[in-house]
């Protein structure tokens, strides 16, 4: 997977700030996980990277491209939701890469 960078990414929903000025640099080939309590912005961050949610502020880069305003289909990434979308007969890698292999 290409390098992923978030630069000063924030997401606001009316009076609620879901993500506040996040800076993140995930290196090429690196795997990470977001851990934290409910409502701390984990899903919003992943949805923003995947293109399912547009940040209120900041930029998202995948590889050498700024993708903040690109639709999900043009980003070359996949997002796996917990539980109902997982295939129990597949390991983690196969579940994550399933959608990308179909392309």
Q: Which domains does the chain have, with CATH numbers?
A: 4-102 (3.40.50.300)
Q: Report d(CA 74, CA 70) in Å as an integer.
A: 6
**pLDDT, position 6:** 98
Model confidence over 19-43: pLDDT tens digits?
Answer: 999 999 999 989 888 889 999 999 9
Above 80 in pLDDT, residue 73?
yes
pTM (2 decimals)? 0.77
Secondary-structure breakdown of the chain: helix, strand, coil percentages, each rounded to the nearest 5? 20, 30, 50
Rounded to 5 degrees, φ, ψ at 74 are -100, 5
Q: What is the pLDDT of residues 52-67, one digit of tens each?
A: 999 999 999 999 999 9
């Amino acid at each position: 997977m290409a390098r992923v960078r978030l630069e000063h990414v924030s997401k606001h929903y009316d009076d609620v700030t879901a993500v506040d000025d996040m800076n993140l640099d995930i290196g090429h080939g690196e795997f990470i996980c977001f851990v934290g309590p409910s409502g701390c912005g984990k899903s919003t961050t992943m949805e923003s990277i995947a293109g399912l949610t547009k940040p209120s502020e900041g930029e998202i880069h995948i590889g050498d491209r700024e993708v903040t305003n690109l639709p999900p289909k043009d980003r070359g990434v996949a997002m796996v939701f917990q539980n109902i979308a997982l295939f129990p007969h597949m390991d983690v890698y196969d579940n994550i890469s399933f959608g990308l292999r179909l392309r």
